[in-house]
């Protein structure tokens, strides 16, 4: 399957749209057909965590949200690029702070750490067009449990 692009213009309801999208991909069986169920679930988790963070925390400062998601299957890996027009945040600093302040069995604040742990490759930057860009890869050949901070 080739690259698939999805665009979202509203943040209210975007999580439901994502779940419907993943369910339709699973029913069709084509987009992520080379991946096992565990890898597909990790991919869904990573996308869900990032978009949930956008919904809860992103600052669009009066601008209408614009979010695009490119999904690029590649054998036993799937690459995802999510771009948005928010003002962004210093994610790597937040990850460091969260790792240092990690309490056993926290109820909240684990989304970015889970996203980082579930991915083989993970990068957050500002794109050339001034949009915020998250790019990550989930692989069927790696064990994300090895990346979980203890």
What residue segments make up the domains of the chain, in order of their start? 4-147
Give the pLDDT of residue 146.
46
Mean pLDDT of 80-85: 94
Is pLDDT of 150 > 80? no
**DSSP strands (E only) in the chain:** 4-8, 67-74, 77-84, 121-126, 132-139
Q: How far is CA 145 from the centre of its chain?
A: 17
CA distance readout (Å), 47 to 62, 69, 107: 24, 9, 20
The pLDDT-based confidence of 92 (bands split at 50, 70, 90) is low
pLDDT tens digit string along 119-131? 888 888 887 788 9
* Average pLDDT score over residue span 71-88: 91
84 alpha-carbon distance from chain centroid = 12
What's the CATH code, domain 4-147?
3.30.565.10
Whether residue 89 is predicted with pLDDT greater than 90 in this model: the reply is no
Question: Is residue 94 over pLDDT 90?
Answer: no
Mean of all residue pLDDT scores within the chain: 80
Q: What is the pLDDT of residue 62?
A: 86
Q: What is the mean pLDDT of residues 53-67?
A: 88
Higher confidence at residue 35 or residue 7?
7
- Kindly report which listed range (3-7, 127-131, 146-150) carries the lowest average pLDDT score: 146-150
Q: Is the pLDDT of residue 16 over 90?
A: yes
pLDDT tops 50 at residue 149: no
Instruction: Give the mean model confidence (pLDDT) for residues 31-56.
Output: 85
Number of Cβ atoms within 10 Å of the Cβ of 57: 11
Q: At what angle do helices 37-57 and 111-118 cross, to 10 degrees?
A: 150
């Amino acid at each position: 399957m080739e690259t698939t692009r999805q665009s979202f213009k509203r943040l209210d309801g975007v999580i439901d749209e994502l779940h419907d999208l993943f369910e339709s991909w699973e029913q069709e069986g084509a987009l992520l057909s080379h991946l096992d169920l565990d890898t597909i679930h990790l991919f869904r988790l990573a996308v869900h965590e990032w978009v949930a963070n956008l919904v809860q925390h992103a600052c669009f400062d009066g601008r209408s949200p614009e979010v695009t998601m490119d999904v690029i299957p590649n054998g036993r890996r799937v690459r995802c690029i999510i771009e948005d027009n928010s003002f962004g945040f210093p994610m790597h600093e937040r990850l460091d702070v969260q790792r240092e302040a990690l309490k056993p069995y926290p109820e909240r604040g684990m989304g970015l750490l889970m996203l980082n742990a579930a991915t083989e490759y993970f990068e957050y930057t500002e794109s050339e067009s001034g949009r915020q860009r998250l790019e990550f890869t989930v692989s069927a050949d790696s064990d994300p449990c090895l990346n979980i901070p203890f």
